[in-house]
């Protein structure tokens, strides 16, 4: 089956992808990631085998660009905004924003890769677990587990 | 709801809802065009006949649709027949947009923009290519077009071919009329055919 016109896909899901990217990499890098993701999606689009979960497919490409951006940033000698540590344990998060961004995003960004992406897909892009699974290319159970483990870890850090 | 859930929900409410800013979209489309990733670009072009949807491949103009055609149907047909890599990237349509403006102002008598015939095949394509050679202000009969397309008896098929014209105005199917002098039909409605013929009479 022919996939729908690419513009229709962007109109329907572009905003969700952008929200996921703003939460994941911050507003200044989100536009570049969005461009990279769309260019990659356009390259693959005519050969797309199944067209039943296009939002999940688009977010799968977007999350790969996020991982690229995280790795590129890790190589750069720019300090990440860090949660103040008290006695080696992360303290309760400050309620105010970091760099104009809610502090909670910075904390999600510090989670291990899969948990981080899963939590952002769920809470920033608002995806159901079926689509989190499609985007992560894993089972629904695994998607659910990654979200729960990520959130559990955040709660533990908070109550420490 | 836990404190963490509340923080996450509040942070999510602060995220943009309208997608990337317009400049970011412009940059994306410019890059996609540069990397040959837009197989069909389309735009809306205002005209005295209402806003036209105009689409072009890298080879040339491929579609002009009157506003009474649903946009999503026009685009879906293009996705099937040409490619799903379709974007509303108006820059490619600038030359045809100018030509159409000049035509509707009576300052242009011939379209120079190249044409991509991808949406028509066989006899219908020959009918449309024959029609494309009728000059400004002239008319031909269905029979003459049938003969020009290689089958003088296929007058009815010629009418169907003209009815399927994917590029009205630029492929001037409005210049084809009945032998007895009647106007015949028109995809965009007979009023539009009358308007175009009157425009060309000056």
For residue range B173-190, what is the model confidence (pLDDT) as tens digits? 999 999 887 888 898 899
Interface test with B, best of A1, A4, A6, A125 (most B CBs within 10 A): A6
Provide the whole-model pTM. 0.89
pLDDT per residue as tens digits for the range B90-140:
999 999 999 999 999 999 999 999 999 999 999 999 999 999 999 999 999
pLDDT band for position A83 (cuts 50, 70, 90): low
Nearest CA in chain A to B78: A5
Residue B87 corresponds to which tokens in the numbers above?
Answer: 């974007």
A62 touches chain B (CB under 8 A): no
Q: Yes or no: say if B149 and B114 are a contact pair by the CB < 8 Å rule.
A: no
Average pLDDT on B21-47 reads 97
Per-chain mean pLDDT for chain A: 86
* Contact yes or no for B4 and A154 at CB 8 A: yes
**Environment class of residue B31 by beta-carbon count within 10 Å: exposed (0-12), middle (13-18) or buried (19+)?**
middle
Q: Residues near A78 by Cβ (< 8 Å), separated by ≥ 6? A: none
* Contact yes or no for B7 and A105 at CB 8 A: no
pLDDT band for position A86 (cuts 50, 70, 90): very low
Q: Residues near B23 by Cβ (< 8 Å), separated by ≥ 6? A: none
Q: Which residues of B touch A154 (CB under 8 A)?
A: 4
Q: Looking at the DSSP assignment, which residues form a beta bridge with residue B54?
A: B43, B64
From CA A51, how far away is CA A38, in angstroms rounded? 16
Amino acid A69: pLDDT:
86
pLDDT higher than threshold 90 for residue B202? no
Q: Yes or no: say if B169 and B103 are a contact pair by the CB < 8 Å rule.
A: yes
Q: Which residues of A touch B81 (CB under 8 A)?
A: none
Residue A90 corresponds to which tokens in the numbers above?
Answer: 């992360």
pLDDT per residue as tens digits for the range A37-63:
999 999 999 999 888 889 999 999 999
pLDDT higher than threshold 70 for residue A92? no
Kindly list the distances between the CA atom of residue A57 and the CA atoms of A97, A133, A137, in Å, as whole numbers in the listed order.
31, 10, 9
Q: Which residues of B touch A14 (CB under 8 A)?
A: 19-20
Look at A146 and A28; give whichever has higher pLDDT: A146
A70 touches chain B (CB under 8 A): no
Q: How far is A13 from chain B (nearest CA, A)?
A: 9
Nearest to A22 by CA among A92, A113, A134, A109: A109
From CA A139, how far away is CA A40, in angstroms rounded? 24
Work out the percent of chain B whose per-residue pLDDT is above 90: 91
Nearest to B128 by CA among B120, B136, B118: B120
pLDDT per residue as tens digits for the range B133-168:
999 999 999 999 999 999 999 999 999 999 999 999
* ipTM entry: 0.92
Q: Yes or no: say if A111 and A150 are a contact pair by the CB < 8 Å rule.
A: yes
Q: Which residues of B touch A35 (CB under 8 A)?
A: 24, 27-28, 31
A2 touches chain B (CB under 8 A): yes
CB atoms within 10 A of CB A85: 9
Q: Catalytic residue at B72?
A: no
pLDDT band for position B75 (cuts 50, 70, 90): very high
Strand boundaries in A13-155, DSSP class E: 85-86, 89-90
From CA B65, how far away is CA B54, in angstroms rounded? 7
A30 touches chain B (CB under 8 A): yes
A121 touches chain B (CB under 8 A): no
B84 touches chain A (CB under 8 A): yes
From CA A40, how far away is CA A34, in angstroms rounded? 10
Q: Looking at the DSSP assignment, which residues form a beta bridge with residue B56?
A: B41, B61
B98 touches chain A (CB under 8 A): no
Q: Residues near B198 by Cβ (< 8 Å), separated by ≥ 6? A: none
Q: Which residues of B touch A46 (CB under 8 A)?
A: 39, 83-85
From CA B170, how far away is CA B78, in angstroms rounded? 18
* Contact yes or no for A126 and B80 at CB 8 A: no
């Amino acid at each position: 089956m022919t996939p729908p016109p690419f513009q229709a896909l962007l109109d329907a899901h572009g905003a969700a992808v952008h929200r996921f990217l703003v939460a994941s990499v911050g507003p200044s890098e989100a536009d570049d990631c969005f461009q990279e993701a769309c260019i990659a999606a356009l390259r693959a689009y005519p050969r797309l085998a199944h067209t039943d979960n296009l939002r999940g497919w688009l977010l799968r490409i977007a999350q790969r660009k996020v991982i690229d951006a995280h790795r590129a940033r890790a190589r750069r000698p720019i300090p990440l905004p860090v949660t103040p540590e008290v006695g080696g344990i992360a303290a309760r998060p400050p309620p105010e924003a970091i760099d104009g961004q809610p502090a909670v995003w910075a904390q999600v960004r510090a989670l291990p890769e899969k948990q981080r992406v899963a939590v952002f897909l769920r809470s920033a892009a608002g995806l159901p677990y079926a689509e989190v699974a499609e985007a992560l290319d894993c089972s629904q159970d695994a998607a659910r587990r990654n979200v729960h483990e990520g959130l559990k870890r955040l709660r533990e850090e908070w109550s420490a | 709801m836990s404190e963490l859930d509340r923080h996450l929900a509040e942070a999510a409410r602060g995220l943009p809802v309208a997608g990337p800013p317009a400049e970011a979209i412009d940059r994306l489309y410019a890059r996609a065009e540069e990397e040959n990733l837009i197989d069909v670009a389309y735009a809306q072009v205002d005209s005295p006949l209402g806003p036209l949807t105009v689409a072009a491949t890298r080879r040339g103009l491929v579609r002009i649709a009157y506003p009474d055609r649903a946009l999503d149907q026009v685009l879906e047909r293009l996705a099937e027949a040409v490619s799903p890599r379709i974007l509303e990237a108006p820059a490619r349509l600038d030359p045809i947009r100018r030509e159409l403006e000049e035509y509707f102002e009576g300052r242009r008598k011939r379209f120079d923009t190249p044409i991509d015939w991808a949406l028509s095949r066989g006899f219908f394509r020959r009918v449309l290519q024959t029609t494309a050679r009728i000059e400004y202000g002239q008319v031909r009969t269905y029979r003459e077009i049938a003969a020009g397309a290689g089958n003088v008896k296929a007058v009815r098929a010629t009418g169907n071919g003209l009815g399927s014209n994917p590029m009205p105005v630029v492929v001037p199917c409005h210049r084809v009329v009945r032998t007895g002098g009647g106007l015949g039909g028109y995809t965009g409605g007979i009023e539009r055919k009358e308007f175009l013929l009157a425009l060309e009479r000056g």
